[in-house]
């Protein structure tokens, strides 16, 4: 029996820094410890400020999911103040947020996940030449086409939000910009162009055909576009069985609209869906360099342990739902929403399922965006009134590209008295809790094959990237 | 030092055609505000001069600068610049991973000693010996010092590297510190903004790579070609300011009419940046155009100047063009001494130009 330890990291081509310590026995990972080595202390900075400042400060947690942060802050403030968005305001906010989520998924596929398939280590595989031609970092033809299309897609955020990253337009009672008829046409034209690129490069077919897939067998039969290339690679490398998660999924429901959220909220566990009760969230600090005890985010504090005590190994807190780990992200969202293909992949729960869940959501999000753009009514109200309460509390739950994002806010004497953020990657990349239960990624890594010569095992790269980590959000 | 290939050779090896190369030279000239006569000069320089290697490192940050950069309006300029950078080191965008990537950084430093530009995104936190930002097992501040030692010049991308940005907001838990307070013996070009505009980033780096010298800087170390005017000076809503027509509430009629956002806390009158001219996301728009005031994200200390939605200062009596500069001056006093200095720039331009040019040409 051979045993060794590996330190994998820094991971490039992820947002922020990540380091993972692996214990390897007999060519497989036997234990994994995820360390988020970057701490900034946003929650501490927010305390004492004008509550509205959260709208400007929190997006700057992250340059890639900044609209998600801004949407969560706006919802938390709305919850605390009783503000409501007019229907059209909610529509515009969802358009802004949806564009960012869609772009993030495309970026993940083209720039973060697929370039690993172009590595020399895979030379000789039947698909390798195509992976090199299409996805070599910065040069692959498909990667370039998608990145360029993504930049053009962001024109929509430009039109509705002024700039991206760090858009300011979403407010608790609506959005600051009322699009005119010309804007609406431009948004629709931009979306049409993006659909063309998706259908040509990503799916090789109308999006609706991919959305109509219902079984794993049907997915296996998909051989068109970059999605087809991915599925061929997945079959060859056994990505379906690699990096299996717990099979417990959480979603707060994406895109709050007047008629309800566009996707269902809930917790999926072994085939059963139950309602998501935010009061069941507890952040455990036993293995984080944080002081204080386990607490619900509304009671939580952020006080870094500057001694970086032994036993702890990350700046990341360990959120648990009713005492258990849950996985969040595109797959989780689609499973909870009940899409047949996602449900078929829910127990497979590995690298392939996560990537396929993201592909499915790319197609569905594009279709939603087209629908919302068509419903824009330039003559309607996009903004209502609201006032910052002197005292109060609120929670803002949204679905970022990478999963459930929650902001818990309390206001006292007109300023922020407490602010706690639980980001998607906080859920997925959490360290162990007081019971020693590893976080979702730590658990998913156990069993990953490690070659005798490997120092940055490819299987570990694939598993970690299948979660699409956003490390700057994780600890914030 | 080993022989370094020319820019042109690099581009050719990246499969860029002669025609595209000439187009790039034209774009560069245009982006930098130079006339067509400069195109052959730029082409000649790029054909004969060894390229300038670039190392791009990331500290405490949110990666918004990289995100902005890869969204530049001139895909060709971006591709050329990126292809040159990727030959060297950038831990977010490069293909290599883990220890390989760390080795690539060291190789690049050794190979191009004294000759490379260090581009810094984010900043080092100094509390607890830098333990709040660990890259490759070591505090980022060590990587920064190490990489800066043999750099020819440093670009501080964005508000984090230039000034500290929101992560340095009170109480600044990690003591996030701008680059120039850690590295004091190198020429530093600040390209502030959260993030900076993509075209400003490519413009600055293209200028440096093409002409092998620093662009002309203002007193705060910002390139004058992009940071010499206030947002307010070229804002399309300026006529409403001059006419005293203001948005009073987010949902009022004036908001729909596109009146001035000054009363909603717009910091345009005290913010030096190119947003109102170059605009964002390939020239589509900028925050004021989206109905939200400017937050002044390219100014030092913008994160700790009172609430973002508070008015710059009570200046409603100045409603006409003649006094607009006084607004800038008075408000600058509120924002910080450095900007007050800057507001006087136009009067002192020629004298200042000398002092700026001198150190720049000496050090590079």
Task: Encode pLDDT of A265-291 as tens digits.
Answer: 999 999 999 999 999 999 999 999 999
Task: Note whether A384 contacts B: Cβ–Cβ < 8 A.
Answer: yes
Q: Which residues pair with A328 in a beta bridge?
A: none
Three-state secondary structure call for residue A315: coil
Whether residue B207 has pLDDT greater than 60: yes
What's the whole-number mean pLDDT along residues A145-157? 91
pLDDT at A8 > cutoff 80: yes
pLDDT at B99: 65
In chain B, which residues have their Cβ closer than 8 Å to the Cβ of A454?
none
Does residue B16 carry a pLDDT above 80? no
More confident residue, B92 or A86: A86
Mean pLDDT of chain B: 78
How far is A419 from A190, CA to CA, in rounded Å?
37
Residues of B in contact with A181 (CB under 8 A): none
Q: What sign does the dihedral A313-A317-A319-A320 (CA atoms) show?
A: positive
Asked if A63 contacts A52 with a C-beta cutoff of 8 angstroms, the reply is: no
DSSP A183-226: HHHHHHHHHHHHHHHIIIIIISS-HHHHHT--SHHHHHT--SHH
- Do A10 and B250 count as a contact with CB atoms less than 8 A apart? no
- Flag if A166 and B101 touch (Cβ within 8 Å): no
Structure confidence at residue B94 as a pLDDT band (50, 70, 90): low
- Whether residue B174 and residue A455 make contact (CB cut-off 8 A), yes or no, is no
Which whole number is the average pLDDT over A358-384? 97
What is the pLDDT at residue B53?
A: 82
Q: How far is CA A141 from CA A133, A147, A207, A370, B73, in A?
A: 6, 10, 21, 26, 19
Rounded distance, CA A264 to CA A276, Å? 10
Please tell me whether residue B239 adopts helix, strand or coil conformation. Answer: helix
Instruction: Tell me which residue has tokens 């929101």.
Output: B166
Q: Is B357 helix (H, G, I), strand (E, B) or coil?
A: helix
Question: Is the pLDDT confidence value at A105 over 90?
Answer: yes
Which residue bears the tokens 């990489």? B147
pLDDT of residue B337: 32
| pLDDT classification of B353: cutoffs 50, 70, 90 | very low
Q: What is the mean pLDDT of residues A409-416?
A: 97
Confidence category of residue B347, pLDDT binned at 50, 70, 90:
very low
Structural tokens at position B81:
């610049």
Are residues A53 and B291, on separate chains, in Cβ contact within 8 Å? Answer: no
**Confidence band of B61 (pLDDT split at 50, 70, 90):** confident
User: Which pLDDT belongs to residue B62?
Assistant: 85
The span from the CA of A468 to the CA of B304, in Å, is 33
Question: Could you tell me which residues come within 8 angstroms of residue A181 by beta carbon, excluding any fewer than 6 positions away?
Answer: A378
Average pLDDT over every residue of B118-134:
90
pLDDT of A344-354, one tens digit each? Answer: 999 999 999 99
Q: What is the DSSP letter of B44?
A: H
Q: Read off the DSSP letter of residue B281.
A: T
Whether the CB of A135 is below 8 Å from some CB of chain B: the reply is no
Q: Name the residue among A327, A318, A321 with its Cα closest to residue A246.
A: A327
pLDDT of residue A201: 97
The proportion of chain A whose per-residue pLDDT surpasses 90, expressed as a percent, equals: 86
Average pLDDT over residues B42-70: 83
Interface of A with B in 73-112 (CB under 8 A): none
- Name every chain A residue with its beta carbon within 8 A of the beta carbon of B279: 158
Question: What is the band of B340 on the pLDDT scale with cuts at 50, 70, 90?
Answer: very low
Between CA B132 and CA B129 the distance in angstroms is 8
- Count the neighbouring beta carbons within 10 Å of the beta carbon of residue A307: 10
Do A162 and B71 make contact, defined as CB atoms within 8 angstroms? no
Which residue would you say has higher pLDDT here, B272 or B339?
A: B272
Mean pLDDT of A203-209: 98
Out of A57, A138, A161, name the one closest to residue B82 (CB).
Answer: A138
A293 pLDDT higher than 50: yes
pLDDT of residue B77: 59
Confidence category of residue B136, pLDDT binned at 50, 70, 90: confident
Choose the closest CB to B287 out of A154, A162, A315.
A162
CB atoms A381 and B251 under 8 Å: yes
CA distance A64 to A68: 9
Identify all chain A residues contacting B129, using CB atoms and an 8 Å cutoff.
none
What integer pLDDT is reported at residue B357 of this predicted model?
40
Give the residue on B whose Cα is nearest the Cα of A305.
B128
Query: Which among A23, A22, A1, A3 is positioned nearest to A11, based on CA atoms?
Result: A22
pLDDT in tens, A154-197: 999 999 999 999 999 999 999 999 999 999 999 999 999 999 99
Check if B289 contacts A (Cβ < 8 Å): yes
pLDDT of residue B289: 95
Average pLDDT estimate for B267-290 = 92
Query: For residue A26, which of A447, A445, A441, A460 has the smallest C-alpha distance?
Result: A447
Distance, in angstroms, between A341 CA and closest chain B CA? 32
pLDDT at B346 over 60: no
Superfamily of domain B231-343: Cytochrome-c3 hydrogenase, C-terminal domain (4.10.480.10)
Q: State which residue of chain B sits closest to A132, comparing Cα positions.
A: B95
Å between B148 CA and nearest CA of chain A: 20
Please name the residues in contact with B331: beta carbons below 8 A apart, sequence gap of 6 or more: B269, B270, B312, B313, B315
Residues in chain A with CB shorter than 8 Å from the CB of B66 are 63
Q: Cα-Cα-Cα-Cα dihedral of B349, B354, B360, B361, to 10°?
A: 140
Flag whether residue A23 sits within 8 Å of chain B, measured between CB atoms: no
Domain map (residue ranges) of chain B: 7-215, 231-343
Q: Measured between beta carbons, which residues in chain B are less than 8 angstroms from residue A49?
A: 307
Q: What pLDDT is stored for residue B87 in this prediction?
A: 52
CA-based nearest distance B359→chain A, Å: 34
Interchain proximity B285–A154, CB inside 8 Å: no
Select from B14, B82, B97 the residue whose CB has the most chain A CBs within 10 Å, as the one to mutate to test that interface.
B97
At B283, is the pLDDT very low, low, confident or very high (cuts 50, 70, 90)?
A: confident
Instruction: Note every long-range contact of B250-256, with CB atoms under 8 Å and residues 24 or more positions apart, other chains counting.
Output: B250/A171, B250/A173, B250/A174, B250/A176, B250/A383, B250/A385, B250/B291, B251/A173, B251/A174, B251/A381, B251/A383, B251/A384, B251/A385, B255/A176, B255/A178, B255/A383, B255/B291, B256/A178
Mean pLDDT, chain A, rounded, equals: 94
- Note the CATH number of domain B7-215: 3.40.50.700
Domains and CATH numbers, chain A: 3-475 (1.10.645.10)
Q: Average pLDDT for residues A9-13, to the nearest whole number?
A: 71
Name which of B83, B132, B135 is nearest A10 (Cβ-Cβ): B135
> Does the predicted TM-score (pTM) go above 0.90?
no
pLDDT attached to residue B209:
76
The arithmetic mean of pLDDT across residues A371-381, rounded, is: 96
pLDDT tens-digit readout, B287-331: 999 999 999 999 999 999 888 888 775 444 343 333 334 443 433
Confidence of residue B48 (pLDDT cuts 50, 70, 90): confident
Residue B356 has pLDDT above 80, yes or no: no
What Cα–Cα distance (Å) separates residue B292 from each residue in A288, A292, B33, B112? 38, 39, 29, 45
Residues in chain B closer than 8 A to A63 (CB atoms): 61-68, 195
Per-residue pLDDT of A35-89, as tens digits, reads 988 899 999 999 999 999 999 999 999 988 899 999 999 999 999 999 999 999 9
Contact list in A for residue B256 (CB cut-off 8 A) is 178
């Amino acid at each position: 029996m051979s045993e060794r330890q590996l330190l994998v990291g820094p991971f490039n081509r992820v947002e922020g820094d990540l380091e993972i310590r692996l214990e390897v026995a007999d060519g497989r990972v036997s234990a994994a410890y995820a360390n988020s080595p970057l701490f900034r202390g946003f929650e501490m900075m927010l305390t004492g400020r004008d509550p509205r400042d959260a709208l400007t400060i929190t997006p700057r947690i992250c340059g890639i999911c900044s609209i998600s942060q801004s949407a969560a802050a706006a919802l938390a403030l709305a919850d605390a103040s009783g503000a409501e968005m007019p229907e059209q305001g909610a529509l515009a906010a969802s358009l802004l947020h949806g564009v960012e989520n869609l772009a993030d998924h495309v970026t993940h596929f083209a720039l973060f996940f697929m370039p690993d398939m172009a590595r020399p280590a895979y030379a000789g595989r039947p698909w390798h030449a195509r992976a090199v031609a299409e996805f070599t970092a910065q040069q692959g033809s498909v990667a370039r086409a998608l990145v360029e299309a993504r930049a053009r897609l962001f024109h929509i955020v430009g039109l509705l939000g002024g700039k991206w990253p760090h858009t300011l337009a979403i407010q608790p009672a609506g959005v600051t910009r009322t699009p005119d008829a010309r804007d609406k046409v431009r948004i629709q034209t931009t979306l049409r162009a993006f659909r063309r690129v998706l259908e040509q490069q990503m799916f090789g077919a109308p999006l609706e055909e991919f959305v109509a897939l219902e079984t794993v067998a049907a997915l296996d039969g998909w051989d068109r576009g970059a999605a087809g290339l991915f599925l061929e690679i997945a079959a060859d490398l056994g990505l379906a069985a690699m990096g299996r998660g717990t099979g417990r999924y959480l979603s707060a429901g994406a895109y709050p609209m007047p008629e309800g959220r566009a996707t269902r909220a809930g917790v999926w566990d072994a085939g059963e869906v139950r309602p998501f009760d935010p009061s069941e969230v507890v952040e455990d600090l036993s293995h984080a360099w944080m002081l204080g005890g386990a607490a619900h985010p509304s009671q939580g504090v952020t006080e870094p342990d500057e001694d970086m005590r032994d036993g702890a190994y990350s700046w990341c807190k360990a959120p648990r739902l009713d005492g258990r780990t849950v996985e969040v992200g595109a797959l989780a969202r689609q499973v909870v929403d009940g899409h047949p293909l996602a449900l078929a992949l829910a127990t497979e729960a590995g690298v392939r399922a996560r990537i396929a869940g993201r592909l499915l959501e790319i197609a569905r999000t594009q279709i939603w965006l087209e629908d919302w753009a068509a419903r824009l009514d330039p003559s309607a109200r996009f903004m209502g009134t609201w006032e910052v309460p002197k005292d109060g509390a609120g929670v803002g739950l949204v679905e970022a590209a990478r999963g459930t994002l929650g902001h818990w806010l309390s206001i006292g004497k007109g300023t922020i008295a407490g602010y706690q953020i639980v980001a998607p990657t906080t859920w997925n990349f959490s360290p162990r809790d007081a019971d020693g239960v590893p976080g979702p990624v730590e658990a998913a890594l156990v069993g990953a094959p490690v070659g005798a010569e490997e120092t940055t095992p490819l299987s570990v790269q694939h598993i970690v990237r299948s979660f699409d980590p956003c490390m700057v959000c994780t600890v914030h | 030092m080993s022989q370094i290939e020319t820019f042109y050779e690099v581009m050719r090896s990246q499969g860029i055609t002669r025609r595209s190369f000439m187009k790039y030279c034209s774009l560069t000239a245009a982006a930098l505000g130079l006339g067509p006569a400069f195109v052959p000069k730029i082409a000649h320089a790029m054909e004969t001069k060894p390229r300038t290697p670039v190392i791009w490192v990331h500290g405490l940050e949110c990666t918004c600068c990289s995100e902005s950069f890869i969204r530049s309006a001139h895909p060709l300029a971006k591709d050329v610049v990126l292809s040159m950078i990727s030959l060297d080191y950038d831990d977010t965008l490069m293909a290599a991973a883990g220890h390989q990537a760390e080795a690539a950084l060291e190789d690049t430093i050794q190979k191009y000693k004294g000759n490379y530009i260090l581009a810094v995104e984010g900043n080092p936190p100094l509390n607890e010996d830098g333990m709040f930002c660990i890259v490759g097992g070591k505090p980022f501040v060590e990587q920064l010092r190490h990489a800066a030692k043999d750099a020819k010049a440093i670009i501080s991308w964005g508000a984090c590297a230039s000034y500290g940005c929101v992560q340095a907001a009170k109480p600044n838990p990690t003591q996030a510190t701008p680059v120039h307070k850690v590295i004091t013996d190198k020429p530093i070009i600040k390209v502030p903004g959260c993030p900076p505009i993509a075209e400003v980033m490519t413009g600055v780096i293209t200028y440096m790579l093409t002409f092998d010298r620093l662009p002309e800087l203002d007193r705060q170390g910002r390139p004058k070609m992009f940071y010499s005017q206030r947002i307010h000076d070229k804002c399309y809503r300026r006529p409403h300011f001059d006419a005293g027509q203001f948005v009073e509430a987010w949902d009022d009629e004036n908001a729909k009419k596109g009146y001035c956002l000054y009363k909603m806390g717009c910091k345009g009158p005290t913010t030096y940046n190119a947003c109102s001219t170059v605009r964002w996301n390939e020239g589509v728009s900028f925050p004021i155009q989206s109905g939200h005031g400017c937050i002044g994200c390219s100014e030092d200390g913008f994160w700790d100047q009172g609430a973002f939605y508070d008015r710059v200062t009570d200046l409603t009596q100045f409603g006409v063009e003649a006094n607009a500069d006084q607004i800038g001056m008075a408000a600058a006093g509120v924002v910080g001494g450095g900007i007050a200095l800057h507001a006087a720039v136009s009067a002192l331009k020629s004298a200042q130009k000398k002092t700026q040019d001198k150190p720049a040409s000496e050090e590079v």
